[in-house]
Amino acid sequence: MDKNQMMRFIAKRVAGELTPGTLVNLGVGIPTLVAEYIAPGSDILLEGENGVIGLGKTAFDVIDATSGKKPEEADDQVINAGAGAAGIDAGASFFDSTTSFGLIRGGHVHTTVLGTMEVDEEGTLANYLIPGKKVAGMGGAMDLCNGVKEVIVATYHTMKGNPKILKKCRLPITAKRCVTKIVTEMGVFQVTPQGIKVIEYNPEFTLEEIQRATEPELIIPDDVKPTPHCYFEGL
Protein backbone atom coordinates (compact mmCIF):
# COMPACT_ATOMS: atom_id res chain seq x y z
CA MET A 1 0.00 0.00 0.00
CA ASP A 2 1.12 3.54 -0.69
CA LYS A 3 0.64 6.27 1.92
CA ASN A 4 -2.75 7.34 0.59
CA GLN A 5 -4.00 3.75 0.62
CA MET A 6 -2.69 3.30 4.15
CA MET A 7 -4.57 6.40 5.26
CA ARG A 8 -7.80 5.16 3.74
CA PHE A 9 -7.31 1.65 5.09
CA ILE A 10 -6.91 3.02 8.62
CA ALA A 11 -10.01 5.19 8.26
CA LYS A 12 -12.09 2.35 6.82
CA ARG A 13 -10.99 -0.03 9.56
CA VAL A 14 -11.80 2.54 12.27
CA ALA A 15 -15.29 2.93 10.82
CA GLY A 16 -15.77 -0.81 11.33
CA GLU A 17 -15.04 -0.38 15.05
CA LEU A 18 -17.71 2.26 15.69
CA THR A 19 -20.82 1.29 17.66
CA PRO A 20 -24.11 1.72 15.74
CA GLY A 21 -26.51 4.26 17.18
CA THR A 22 -23.84 6.38 18.89
CA LEU A 23 -22.54 9.94 18.72
CA VAL A 24 -18.95 10.00 17.42
CA ASN A 25 -16.38 12.79 17.31
CA LEU A 26 -13.74 12.79 14.56
CA GLY A 27 -10.43 14.55 15.07
CA VAL A 28 -8.30 16.14 12.35
CA GLY A 29 -6.12 14.31 9.83
CA ILE A 30 -6.79 10.62 9.22
CA PRO A 31 -9.85 10.59 11.56
CA THR A 32 -11.63 13.03 9.24
CA LEU A 33 -11.61 10.35 6.52
CA VAL A 34 -13.63 7.98 8.71
CA ALA A 35 -16.75 9.88 7.61
CA GLU A 36 -16.28 8.40 4.13
CA TYR A 37 -16.75 4.85 5.42
CA ILE A 38 -19.68 5.06 7.83
CA ALA A 39 -22.07 2.28 6.84
CA PRO A 40 -25.52 3.47 5.63
CA GLY A 41 -28.21 2.74 8.18
CA SER A 42 -25.76 2.46 11.08
CA ASP A 43 -27.36 5.47 12.84
CA ILE A 44 -23.92 6.81 13.72
CA LEU A 45 -24.01 10.59 14.14
CA LEU A 46 -20.80 12.54 13.63
CA GLU A 47 -20.09 15.49 15.92
CA GLY A 48 -17.63 18.37 15.58
CA GLU A 49 -16.57 20.20 18.72
CA ASN A 50 -16.87 23.48 16.82
CA GLY A 51 -20.64 23.02 17.19
CA VAL A 52 -22.31 20.60 14.79
CA ILE A 53 -24.01 17.22 14.89
CA GLY A 54 -24.62 15.63 11.51
CA LEU A 55 -21.30 15.91 9.68
CA GLY A 56 -21.44 13.99 6.42
CA LYS A 57 -18.97 12.50 3.98
CA THR A 58 -16.31 15.13 3.46
CA ALA A 59 -12.63 14.69 4.21
CA PHE A 60 -11.98 17.69 1.97
CA ASP A 61 -9.21 18.92 4.24
CA VAL A 62 -7.33 15.61 4.05
CA ILE A 63 -7.83 15.27 0.30
CA ASP A 64 -6.65 18.83 -0.21
CA ALA A 65 -3.51 18.15 1.81
CA THR A 66 -2.80 15.17 -0.44
CA SER A 67 -3.60 16.77 -3.82
CA GLY A 68 -2.85 20.41 -3.06
CA LYS A 69 -6.18 21.32 -4.70
CA LYS A 70 -9.36 22.76 -3.28
CA PRO A 71 -12.54 21.03 -4.45
CA GLU A 72 -14.89 23.48 -6.18
CA GLU A 73 -17.88 21.99 -4.36
CA ALA A 74 -16.43 22.73 -0.91
CA ASP A 75 -18.37 25.38 1.03
CA ASP A 76 -16.00 27.64 2.95
CA GLN A 77 -18.80 28.59 5.32
CA VAL A 78 -19.30 25.03 6.60
CA ILE A 79 -16.25 23.60 8.37
CA ASN A 80 -15.30 20.83 10.75
CA ALA A 81 -13.24 21.24 13.91
CA GLY A 82 -10.04 21.14 11.89
CA ALA A 83 -11.21 24.11 9.77
CA GLY A 84 -11.62 21.87 6.72
CA ALA A 85 -14.64 22.18 4.42
CA ALA A 86 -17.33 19.81 5.69
CA GLY A 87 -20.34 18.05 4.24
CA ILE A 88 -23.56 18.18 6.25
CA ASP A 89 -26.25 15.51 6.38
CA ALA A 90 -29.96 16.31 6.26
CA GLY A 91 -31.26 17.10 9.73
CA ALA A 92 -27.92 18.33 11.06
CA SER A 93 -27.89 20.84 13.91
CA PHE A 94 -25.58 23.74 14.71
CA PHE A 95 -24.85 25.22 18.13
CA ASP A 96 -22.24 27.22 20.02
CA SER A 97 -19.05 25.93 21.65
CA THR A 98 -20.60 26.07 25.12
CA THR A 99 -23.23 23.52 24.12
CA SER A 100 -20.66 21.47 22.21
CA PHE A 101 -18.31 21.10 25.16
CA GLY A 102 -21.26 20.55 27.47
CA LEU A 103 -22.08 17.48 25.36
CA ILE A 104 -18.48 16.28 25.55
CA ARG A 105 -17.88 16.95 29.24
CA GLY A 106 -21.32 15.61 30.12
CA GLY A 107 -20.48 12.20 28.67
CA HIS A 108 -22.95 12.35 25.77
CA VAL A 109 -20.35 11.63 23.06
CA HIS A 110 -19.66 7.89 22.95
CA THR A 111 -16.45 7.73 20.91
CA THR A 112 -13.73 10.06 19.70
CA VAL A 113 -11.27 9.15 16.96
CA LEU A 114 -7.98 11.03 17.29
CA GLY A 115 -4.65 11.15 15.53
CA THR A 116 -1.43 11.19 17.52
CA MET A 117 2.31 11.68 17.55
CA GLU A 118 2.74 9.11 20.32
CA VAL A 119 0.66 6.63 22.32
CA ASP A 120 2.02 4.28 24.95
CA GLU A 121 1.21 0.84 26.30
CA GLU A 122 -0.83 2.33 29.16
CA GLY A 123 -3.05 4.21 26.70
CA THR A 124 -1.50 7.60 27.42
CA LEU A 125 -1.80 10.00 24.49
CA ALA A 126 0.56 12.72 23.23
CA ASN A 127 -0.95 14.44 20.21
CA TYR A 128 -0.80 18.21 20.57
CA LEU A 129 2.78 19.49 20.82
CA ILE A 130 6.25 18.86 19.46
CA PRO A 131 8.63 21.17 21.34
CA GLY A 132 10.20 23.72 19.00
CA LYS A 133 7.71 23.13 16.18
CA LYS A 134 4.56 24.97 15.20
CA VAL A 135 1.55 22.65 15.48
CA ALA A 136 -2.21 23.09 15.71
CA GLY A 137 -2.32 22.78 19.52
CA MET A 138 -4.56 21.03 22.01
CA GLY A 139 -7.95 21.91 20.53
CA GLY A 140 -10.68 19.86 22.19
CA ALA A 141 -8.56 16.72 22.66
CA MET A 142 -8.10 17.12 26.41
CA ASP A 143 -11.86 17.39 26.98
CA LEU A 144 -12.61 14.56 24.58
CA CYS A 145 -10.12 12.18 26.18
CA ASN A 146 -11.71 12.69 29.57
CA GLY A 147 -15.36 13.04 28.57
CA VAL A 148 -16.11 10.23 26.11
CA LYS A 149 -16.59 6.52 26.72
CA GLU A 150 -14.12 5.31 24.08
CA VAL A 151 -10.95 6.83 22.58
CA ILE A 152 -9.73 5.28 19.33
CA VAL A 153 -6.36 6.38 17.94
CA ALA A 154 -6.03 6.36 14.14
CA THR A 155 -2.40 6.74 13.12
CA TYR A 156 0.44 5.46 10.99
CA HIS A 157 2.37 2.83 12.92
CA THR A 158 5.70 4.61 12.58
CA MET A 159 7.05 8.09 11.87
CA LYS A 160 10.25 8.28 9.80
CA GLY A 161 10.89 4.65 10.70
CA ASN A 162 10.47 5.19 14.44
CA PRO A 163 7.66 3.56 16.47
CA LYS A 164 4.71 5.74 17.47
CA ILE A 165 3.49 3.08 19.92
CA LEU A 166 5.88 3.40 22.85
CA LYS A 167 6.52 2.01 26.32
CA LYS A 168 6.17 5.57 27.65
CA CYS A 169 5.26 8.78 25.84
CA ARG A 170 8.15 11.22 25.53
CA LEU A 171 6.29 14.23 24.15
CA PRO A 172 4.02 16.47 26.28
CA ILE A 173 0.97 14.45 27.31
CA THR A 174 -2.59 15.21 26.21
CA ALA A 175 -4.25 12.76 28.62
CA LYS A 176 -3.19 9.77 30.70
CA ARG A 177 -4.53 6.23 30.28
CA CYS A 178 -7.41 7.27 28.04
CA VAL A 179 -6.89 5.30 24.81
CA THR A 180 -8.89 2.10 24.45
CA LYS A 181 -7.97 1.05 20.91
CA ILE A 182 -5.29 1.82 18.29
CA VAL A 183 -5.76 1.34 14.55
CA THR A 184 -2.77 1.57 12.19
CA GLU A 185 -1.90 0.29 8.73
CA MET A 186 -0.48 -2.80 10.50
CA GLY A 187 -3.54 -3.81 12.47
CA VAL A 188 -5.98 -3.22 15.30
CA PHE A 189 -4.70 -3.14 18.88
CA GLN A 190 -6.53 -3.12 22.23
CA VAL A 191 -5.05 -1.34 25.24
CA THR A 192 -5.42 -3.67 28.24
CA PRO A 193 -4.15 -3.58 31.85
CA GLN A 194 -1.57 -6.20 30.80
CA GLY A 195 -0.34 -4.27 27.76
CA ILE A 196 -1.22 -3.84 24.09
CA LYS A 197 -3.03 -6.80 22.58
CA VAL A 198 -3.14 -7.53 18.85
CA ILE A 199 -6.81 -7.89 17.89
CA GLU A 200 -6.10 -8.43 14.20
CA TYR A 201 -3.21 -7.83 11.83
CA ASN A 202 -2.83 -6.62 8.25
CA PRO A 203 -1.61 -9.71 6.34
CA GLU A 204 0.71 -7.50 4.27
CA PHE A 205 2.89 -7.54 7.40
CA THR A 206 4.11 -10.46 9.47
CA LEU A 207 3.58 -10.46 13.22
CA GLU A 208 7.35 -10.25 13.59
CA GLU A 209 7.45 -7.09 11.45
CA ILE A 210 4.66 -5.56 13.50
CA GLN A 211 6.53 -6.30 16.73
CA ARG A 212 9.74 -4.76 15.38
CA ALA A 213 7.81 -1.58 14.53
CA THR A 214 6.38 -1.41 18.07
CA GLU A 215 8.42 -0.46 21.14
CA PRO A 216 6.58 -2.40 23.90
CA GLU A 217 6.18 -6.17 23.80
CA LEU A 218 2.85 -6.97 22.16
CA ILE A 219 0.38 -9.52 23.47
CA ILE A 220 -0.26 -11.78 20.47
CA PRO A 221 -2.98 -14.41 20.99
CA ASP A 222 -2.43 -17.78 19.31
CA ASP A 223 -5.72 -17.37 17.42
CA VAL A 224 -5.22 -13.77 16.21
CA LYS A 225 -6.87 -13.28 12.81
CA PRO A 226 -5.88 -11.23 9.74
CA THR A 227 -7.93 -8.19 8.74
CA PRO A 228 -10.95 -9.24 6.62
CA HIS A 229 -10.53 -8.71 2.87
CA CYS A 230 -13.47 -6.29 2.69
CA TYR A 231 -11.38 -3.56 4.33
CA PHE A 232 -8.91 -3.60 1.42
CA GLU A 233 -11.52 -3.23 -1.32
CA GLY A 234 -11.72 0.09 -3.13
CA LEU A 235 -8.70 1.73 -1.48
Residues identified as active-site: 49
Enter the DSSP assignment of 68: S
Q: Name the 3-class secondary structure at 156.
A: coil
Residue type, 128: Y
Q: Specify which residues 201 forms β-bridges with.
A: 187, 226
How many CB atoms within 10 Å of residue 107? 11
Please, is 229 exposed, middle or buried when counting C-beta atoms within 10 Å of its C-beta (0-12, 13-18, 19+)? exposed
Rounded to whole angstroms, how far apart are CA atoms 102 and 166? 32
Phi-psi domain of 161 (left: phi exceeds 0; alpha: psi -120 through 50; beta: other): left
Q: Which residue from 41, 75, 44 is spatially nearest to 58, judged by alpha carbons?
A: 75
Greatest extent of the chain over all pairs of C-alpha atoms, in Å: 51
Rounded to whole angstroms, how far apart are CA atoms 232 and 63? 19
How long a stretch of residues is the chain?
235
Q: Which residue from 3, 63, 6, 2 is spatially nearest to 29, judged by alpha carbons?
A: 63
Q: Specify which residues 56 forms β-bridges with.
A: none
Enter the DSSP assignment of 99: H
